[in-house]
Amino acid sequence: MRRAADRLFRVATGACAVAACAVLVGIVGTILWKGLPALDWDLLTAAAGETFGTGGLAYQILGTLLLVATAFAVATPLAVGLALAQASYFVRRSARERVRLLVQTLNGVPSVVLGILGFVVLVRYFAWGKSWLAGGLVLGVMIAPTMTVALAERVEALPRRYLDAARGLGLTRGQTVRSVVLPQTRSGLVSGALLGLARAAGETAPLLFTAAVFSGATIPGGIRESPVLALPYHVFVLAQDTADAAARAHLWAAAFVLLAIVLGLALAALPLRLRSSEEARHG
Amino acid sequence: MRRLRRFDPVRWMALVATLFVVAVAAGLVAIFAVHSLPVWRHSGSDYLTGTEWFYRAARFGVLPMLYGTLVVSGIAIALAGPLALGAALFTAEVVPERRRLWIKVPIELLAGVPSVVYGLLGVLLLRDWVYRLLEPFEPLSGDTLLTGGVLLAVMILPTVMTLADDALRGVPAAQRRAARGLGLTTAQTAVSVSLPQALPGIGAALLLGLGRAMGETIAVFLVVGRRDNQWPESVLSPEAWVAAGQTLTSKLGGSETFIAYGDPLHWGAIAGLALALTLLVAASSLVGSRLARRGASGGSDA
């Protein structure tokens, strides 16, 4: 009886785990299966065609890369500052807790709300209009918590003797951070950045009102009224009108490219994350 | 913090970053609260309890959208919760340490799939399946609250599972060994030792998943039907679940947000939606992380 119950438990929970993994395989498999046939070199290097859902994705891809790069430039200093503000070696506990709560709160804000905030402040109040910079700023604020958590974890895991040695050598806090903390936690910064960028590359909601248009934009030349095309927004607009079979094929291919970028970034972060969790367990 | 005579770049960076985030968070709440004042003056509490939204007639009631949000995220949690818990029990209690990655890695990647890709699969596949499933009830289309809920369930599955797994693994291994030493099987250990102790953490996982589900926009937008004023005669009747509806996020993500700007009253109504959504999500994630901390505080917190 006990044996049977135990076996049932193993099988039932195992089935749950397998089902969860099967969903991923199903999603990636479907996108591969449907997207691969429409994928060719022109799709990646040509500009969009005259009609809805034809031609290439070059400017959509470039626009997404520009947004992601901007988000990275915005989020990195934020994440470093916020991670240092939570470092137990430098900051007392009550202040640390408050910063942690703050980061958690920011992480909880729905991305569409951040997008509308960007719309009110940057697009309307600063009168930028739709602009790549507005989109990049919103995405940067959105991914800053992800990067902060990854970096703060590594800062906390830093062996205390390194910091004590730095202090013993008479280094100031600035020197300690620059020559000990940041170099030693680089893997946390990189893996957090890759994860955050994967999220930024795939997000649509913050771009709706701040940065993305469906057509008619190329490389932005300034800040004001300089929207970009973006891959997720492209898929989002096409998905609302899927009657045409040719447009469908184009749509699957665009989704494939998007998924490849996002999962590529997430996969690149994986070895670093695994190694650091190993170290945390054994080190 | 130690007082220093010299300029301290570390303190400066930490301070600037923190102040910036404080400004964003406070600005967000303040801006939406102030911008929504016109609609409160116009409608008063009818704004929250009204069931009709006709912006040309200046009638703004958010109840159908609140209902849509709660139904969609409720369905998502009901479907994803048990599956995620089962999978977390498997990775935390059954699988040997070395093999865990075989499940954890795909799940992490699943969390990274962009919501517009989920939305696309919802549009091109799930919508048709739901339509066929509901055929006996003669649905108008496959765009229903149920479709949105199923899609959200898949999307929050990794979040709930990862957090539940963390909670279960937070239970000290010594207790598990002791239970095994008393002759308990894996299943008995999991159910009578690990699970009760991890309960706050699992509650937190569910709440954080709920917050995720309530705030998700793009995928829901594409499959929920976006029909205003869907207020069911009986709140608990599942009939409305298999019909098109509107959620807070699908409304906010729509073109009405663009149109509304410039008309203080209409914009006020939109800003009020954003505020309500933010507060709902923040409440569930704050309660969730509180629970998680209480669950974890049994361990060491140096």
Token pair recorded at residue B290: 């509180």
Give CA–CA dist B262/B264, Å, rounded.
6
When CB atoms are compared, the residue of B85, B117, B257 closest to A209 is B257
Q: Check residue B39 and report its DSSP letter.
A: H
Query: CB distance from A207 to chain B under 8 Å?
Result: no
The nearest alpha carbon in chain A to B186 belongs to A6
For chain A, the average pLDDT equals 89
The nearest alpha carbon in chain A to B301 belongs to A93
Could you read off the pLDDT of B166-197 as tens digits, one per residue? 999 989 989 989 998 998 999 999 999 999 99
**Interchain contact, B117 vs A235, CB within 8 Å:** yes
A183 vs A209, B127, B151, CA distance in Å? 38, 49, 42
**Interchain contact, B24 vs A3, CB within 8 Å:** no
| Residue pair B254/B53 in contact by the 8 Å Cβ criterion | no
Within 8 A by CB and 6+ apart from A147, the residues are A75, A76, A78, A79, A189, A192, A193, A195, A196
Q: Which ipTM did the prediction report? A: 0.91
The nearest alpha carbon in chain A to B191 belongs to A9
Within 8 A by CB and 6+ apart from B292, the residues are B163, B167, B200, B201, B204, B205
Give CA–CA dist B233/B243, Å, rounded.
13
Task: Using an 8 Å CB-CB cutoff, list chain A residues near B274.
Answer: 112-113, 116
B-contacting residues in A 229-258 (Cβ below 8 Å): 232, 235-236, 239-240, 242, 248, 251, 255, 258
DSSP labels for A147-202?
HHHHHHHHHHHS-HHHHHHHHHTT--HHHHIIIIIHHHTHHHHHHHHHHHHHHHHH
The nearest alpha carbon in chain B to A8 belongs to B187
Interface mutation vs chain B, best among A2, A6, A24, most B CBs within 10 Å: A24
pLDDT in tens, chain B (302 residues): 455 456 778 888 899 999 999 999 999 999 999 999 999 999 988 999 988 999 988 899 999 999 999 999 999 999 999 999 999 999 999 998 888 888 888 888 888 899 999 999 999 999 999 999 888 877 788 899 999 999 999 999 999 999 999 999 989 989 989 998 998 999 999 999 999 999 999 999 999 999 999 999 999 999 998 988 888 877 777 888 888 899 999 999 998 998 999 899 999 999 999 999 999 999 998 888 888 777 665 443 32
| Residue pair B260/B266 in contact by the 8 Å Cβ criterion | yes
The nearest alpha carbon in chain B to A1 belongs to B185
Task: Using an 8 Å CB-CB cutoff, list chain B residues near A271.
Answer: none
**Interchain contact, B84 vs A262, CB within 8 Å:** no
Rg (CA), chain A: 22
Give CA–CA dist B96/B147, Å, rounded.
36
Could you read off the pLDDT of A19-60 as tens digits, one per residue? 999 988 899 999 999 988 888 888 888 887 767 777 788 899
The residue among A225, A22, A35, A237 whose CA lies nearest residue A123 is A225
CA angle in degrees (0–180, nearest 5) for B114-B117-B123: 145
B-contacting residues in A 94-123 (Cβ below 8 Å): 95, 99, 102-114, 116-117, 119-121
When CB atoms are compared, the residue of A9, A102, A266 closest to B22 is A102
Task: Using an 8 Å CB-CB cutoff, list chain A residues near B188.
Answer: 2, 5-6
